[in-house]
Amino acid sequence: MQPAAADMPASLLFADPPAARAPVRALSGIEKAAIVVRVLAAEGAELPLRDLPEQDQHRLVLQLGRMGRVDAATMDAVVAEFCGDVEGIGVTFPPGLPGALELLGEHLSEPVMRRIREAIGTGRGSDPWRDLAAAATDRLLPALAEESVEVAAIVLAKLPVPRAAELIGRMPGPRARAVAHALSLTAATPPDVVERIGRALAARIAEEPPRAFETGPAQRVGAILNFSPAATRDDVLDGLTEADAGFAAEVRKAIFTFANIPARIDPRDVPKVLRAVEQPVLIRALAGAKGPEAASAEFILANISQRMAQSLRDEMASLGKVSPREAEAAMTEVVVAIRRMEEAGELSFVAEDEDEEVD
């Protein structure tokens, strides 16, 4: 039984009869795409249309708005043709250099990776913000430091929130406050300006040659001196101060010794440190701490329960005299445990006062 004309939508009353519809092969590619997208959307399928070039996304939206009504026979024929094309595909390849890099990045040599990153940073169709979000902090942070506060704010506004939080947390206090304030002014930034900033910054980072060392020279010297005898450490630092006072100051900041515990360890982390150190080692370190190290021993005992502190004091008293060599070896083990916990993210060093003068 055919529906009455009054029961049909007005748009159907004035539509062309089915016979006037063009056959499937006479439809353009964009018309067929519109039909397929409409059918898939009606089925609730996930459509990765954002991966298409922007101009193709635009064309598709415009075509969807023009299609009007398509009869069932045409729809079935277009869908059948589409399914046949899909079934005939053997393998698909990632689009462009970013996709290829994501697929093969783990298997390529560093020189090839660098050349590809350079191409991604400047190539048409690449996503500079994805590259910036994946860039190493030690490369991105210095690049941001060379930019104006406004540009740095735009970059942080565009990056994922956890990444932006990490970067602003590594900035000096005044710079971090200025960038945070500038973030409130980024809403009106034109999209093309944001795009140019992203591409310029991504290209600059991609152009940097690979480094042989992950850390700077001051950090490497500091790490070596951390495990050197105190006499050797003091002698080297005195020599560095005479030769290059600025570099010596950077090395001093990179050094973490037993004497630095009160200034660099949060009191709340002391119980965690004690759990990471064998008790006999801890007893020798505390009992043998003299001079500057004695303050660290008292700091540790003051930030644990009174019962545990008294127990440690009793064991220190029963241990008797500890030789300087034994004490230094035990304190070094405590420092190694703290360093290991810091690298694993189990604790964070308290930032030193940058304005504090170095003796």
Q: What is the pLDDT of residues 23-39, one digit of tens each?
A: 555 788 888 888 888 88
Task: Please name the helix (run of DSSP H) or strand (run of DSSP E) that holds residue 195, with its range, or none.
Answer: helix 191-207
Is 121 inside a domain boundary?
A: yes
Is 214 inside a domain boundary?
A: no
Domain that holds residue 110: 100-207
Q: What is the pLDDT of residues 106-150, one digit of tens each?
A: 676 766 666 665 555 544 445 788 888 888 887 888 888 888 899
> Which of 166, 191, 207 is the endpoint of a domain?
207
Q: What pLDDT is stored for residue 307 in this prediction?
A: 94
> Which of 186, 207, 228 is the endpoint of a domain?
207
Q: Is 295 exposed, middle or buried (0-12, 13-18, 19+ CB in 10 A)?
A: middle
Among 87-91, 236-240, 294-298, top mean pLDDT goes to 294-298
Is 226 inside a domain boundary?
A: no
Is 357 inside a domain boundary?
A: no
29 by DSSP, 3-state: which? helix
Q: What is the pLDDT of residues 195-242, one digit of tens each?
A: 888 888 887 777 655 555 556 677 778 778 877 777 888 888 888 888
Contact assessment for residue 76 and residue 36, using Cβ atoms and an 8 Å cutoff: no
CATH of the domain at 290: 1.10.220.30
Same domain for 180 and 112? yes
Same domain for 132 and 190? yes
> Which of 207, 226, 248 is the endpoint of a domain?
207
Same domain for 329 and 302? yes
Contacts with 86 (C-beta within 8 Å, 6 or more apart), sequence order: none
Contacts with 281 (C-beta within 8 Å, 6 or more apart), sequence order: 330, 333, 334
Q: Tell me the two tokens of residue 351.
A: 């930032």
Q: What pLDDT is stored for residue 115 in this prediction?
A: 63
Q: Tell me the two tokens of residue 15.
A: 């539509």
CATH of the domain at 110: 1.10.220
- Indicate the number of domains in the chain: 3
Same domain for 278 and 180? no
Contacts with 101 (C-beta within 8 Å, 6 or more apart), sequence order: 108, 113, 116, 117, 120
Q: What is the DSSP string of 37-97?
A: HHHHHHTT----GGGS-HHHHHHHHHHHHH-----HHHHHHHHHHHHHHHHT------SHH
Q: 1-10, 78-87, 308-317: which has the minimum mean pLDDT?
A: 1-10
